[in-house]
Amino acid sequence: MAATDGFVAIRDINPQAAAHLLVLPERHVESFREIGQFPAEEAKRMLEFVAEVAAREGLTDYRVVVNVGPGAGQTIFHLHWHVLGGRLSGRMA
């Protein structure tokens, strides 16, 4: 769907909202607990890319969610941001 230096955005294969996108770093980081592995500038670029992806999708009102650990619903152990717009469904509702 979109890419920038070090990050990609894809559509979730099991959407929980009308628009459900995932933003991932290309390098492996298991979860948000390890966010400190990103230098400040890289973390800033990642968050800016999350906002850019939402704007590209035409979203003005949306949620950005990070599930951290199995108890919070993390099922893929690679850091990723959920960008959810429109009516929510499933476990994200």
Over residues 10-26, the pLDDT tens digits come to: 999 999 999 999 999 99
Query: Binning pLDDT at 50, 70 and 90, where does residue 61 land?
Result: very high
What CATH topology corresponds to 2-92? Answer: HIT family, subunit A (3.30.428)
What HEC string does the chain produce?
CEEECCEEEEECCCCCEEEEEEEEECCCCCCHHHHHHCCHHHHHHHHHHHHHHHHHCCCCCEEEECCCCHHHCCCCCCCCEEEEEEEECHHHC
| Residues noted as catalytic | 80
The position carrying tokens 């800033």 is 44
Query: Residue 81's pLDDT is what?
Result: 97
pTM, two decimals, is 0.89
Domain coordinates of the chain in residue numbers? 2-92
